Amino acid sequence: MPHAAWAAARRAILQAFATGEHLVALLGPPGVGKTCLLREVEAALRPQAIRVLRLESGDGAEGALAAAPETEVLLVDEADRMSESALEEVAEREGCFAVLVGLPPLARRLAPWPHRIVELPPLPAGEIPSYLTARMIIAELDAARLTEGAAAALAELSGGTPRLLNLLLAMAYHEADMTGGETVLESHVREAAALRAEAAEALAGHDAPPPRAAAEPAGKPVRLGRPEPAPRSFGRALSLTPPPPPEEEPARRRLAPAVLAGAIVLLLGGLAWFSAREVPRPATRAEGAAPPGEQAAAAPAPPPADPAPAPPRTAGAALPSGAMVRVVLTYPRGAAEAARRGVALAASLTQAGIAVGAPFPVSRPPAGPALSYFFREDREAALRIAGLGGLDAGAAQLGAPGGAAPRPGTIELALAQPGAAAEERDASAGEEDLPAPAAASLAYPPEGTTLPADAAWRGVVLAWSTPGDNRPGCCFIEVVSLGAGRPGEGVPAFREVFAAYAEAPDQQLVQLAGAGRYAWRVLTVSRAARRYSASPWRHFAIGGAPS
């Protein structure tokens, strides 16, 4: 949500663009809204017919300007990841305005070149009360319920970081609702913060044993003075960690698996309860979803007592283990014969059960038919498409994506002028033997859970964890609707309703069309290795869908 420092940073960046400056560094700690501000700058410039290229990570900046020489504005998130050569290319490029987003140490790397530094700090203590007031209005929360002690605890425990402040505010209200409290107290805030910290520890890496109570570091104010929580009874336990060594471990420091699982469910449940208001821009709506205003009146109220039974796994769904393949088909502009060939080939691929978009013309076709895939895991799919298209296996090559990363499973089939021969290529060229990234561990919704009917239009928060380095753009999300197929007639028993790179490294808000059974998974993507790993599918239902 915009605030004074955020608005000042926005003005400074647009002023630098208007006055003809070349290079701006937007610096600040994690969670202060740098990515949101970068999108706002993009939204402000695009309507002016300015050619803008936004990269979600500095990993993809190498050669980006060379691949898109017409770029007038380059926006790079997580520019800390840029190589020295990419940084030099951007800094010395004439006629291109660049905004590089990163942590404060990025300024040292930019020292050799003239640049403006725009800082986006956490909220100062004096601005947090007004921020909370505005946030509660936007989130439609009853501000009268928030006590002064709770507001002070929010300011203390968030450190003025808007992302953490938003999360703790949501969880504190959720905590108060779960305990039947009429007001939101300081204890609710501290309990929410402690649960968040414990869940984060469990998700971050459970190989190392947790520290004992006596070794508690002084730098974690969230745990200081934390009141001992009353015993809770959680629903279905969400086991994300292996059972800790029992008996000799203190109960407060090594929670039993079910209680720790319950803490994580509470944390993520709070996100789901608040998710429709958590994102700073409109949520991505899945295919066929109606606007919230149209569904609000018709959406049935959540079941008052007994939830609908958990949906069974759909045995006949035959959900794929690899990425769902989609073919992009092109042909030379003005080549009628190639266009007809493209239409016939698209029909043939569709009949074979492969998703393919409508063929479209390009001005610069290859000299011969070309087949490109962008992740090593998609090679077998590319070879199958080559066979269906009458191409030699040598036509398939590992492509080098420019700019935004393609979705896993993307195959590009470029037709050439009739009679042109495919170029002989080494199918393994450019494929370094790098390991695939670790698969994600899905956290919420729990397997087999049933969500209230209004979750469809309010939005469902999908949450997961990935070991190692997390950042926006590292994970691709797939959601399918189950039970709509007719296997005997060759119609798949599932339909894709959402597929996109996640806007955050560990969660994504998705709005769905309505009640039904769904499955989802996360594909962890490594652009450097050009590989991905798919998590297992997880199932949930909305509104007591029929089994």
Give the per-residue pLDDT at 544. 53
At 231, is the pLDDT very low, low, confident or very high (cuts 50, 70, 90)? very low
More confident residue, 347 or 220: 347
Question: Which one of 311-320, 404-413, 488-497 scores highest in mean pLDDT?
Answer: 404-413
- Express each pLDDT in 1-43 by its tens digit: 667 788 889 889 998 888 888 899 999 999 888 988 988 888 8
Structural fold of domain 326-414: Alpha-Beta Plaits (3.30.70)
User: Rounded to whole angstroms, how far apart are CA atoms 208 and 228?
Assistant: 25
| 3-state secondary structure (DSSP) of residue 356 | strand
Number of Cβ within a 10 Å radius of residue 489: 6
Give the torsion through C-alpha atoms of 281, 287, 289, 290, to 10 deg.
90
Number of Cβ within a 10 Å radius of residue 510: 23
At 289, is the pLDDT very low, low, confident or very high (cuts 50, 70, 90)? very low
Share of the chain above pLDDT 70, in %: 70
At 204, is the pLDDT very low, low, confident or very high (cuts 50, 70, 90)? low
More confident residue, 467 or 283: 467
At 155, is the pLDDT very low, low, confident or very high (cuts 50, 70, 90)? very high
- Express each pLDDT in 55-85 by its tens digit: 888 877 777 777 777 888 889 999 998 888 8
| Average confidence (pLDDT) over 106-134 | 90
| Average confidence (pLDDT) over 317-338 | 82
User: Rounded to whole angstroms, how far apart are CA atoms 391 and 371?
Assistant: 9
Give the per-residue pLDDT at 348. 86
Share of the chain above pLDDT 90, in %: 16
* pLDDT higher than 70, residue 237: no
More confident residue, 18 or 538: 538
More confident residue, 4 or 131: 131
- For the ranges 39-48, 159-168, 213-222, the lowest mean pLDDT is seen at 213-222
Give the per-residue pLDDT at 199. 64
More confident residue, 199 or 459: 459
| Average confidence (pLDDT) over 499-508 | 83
- Residue for token pair 């283990």: 321
At 106, is the pLDDT very low, low, confident or very high (cuts 50, 70, 90)? very high
| Average confidence (pLDDT) over 402-411 | 76
Outline which parts of the chain fall under CATH 3.30.70. Answer: 326-414
* pLDDT higher than 50, residue 533: yes
Give the per-residue pLDDT at 23. 92
Class in CATH terms, 286-308+436-542:
mainly beta
* pLDDT higher than 60, residue 272: no
* pLDDT higher than 70, residue 495: yes
Give the per-residue pLDDT at 424. 54
* Non-local CB neighbours of 183 within 8 Å, separated by 6+ positions: 145, 146, 147, 150, 176
Average pLDDT taken over every residue of the chain: 74
pTM summary value: 0.45
Give the per-residue pLDDT at 100. 94
Contact 389, 308 (CB under 8 A): no
180 φ/ψ sector (left φ>0, alpha ψ -120 to 50, else beta): left
Reduce the secondary structure of 65-112 to three states and give it as a string.
HHHCCCCCEEEECCHHHCCHHHHHHHHCCCCCEEEEEECCCHHHHCCC
User: Rounded to whole angstroms, how far apart are CA atoms 259 and 232?
Assistant: 8
Structural fold of domain 4-119: Rossmann fold (3.40.50)
Contact 403, 55 (CB under 8 A): yes
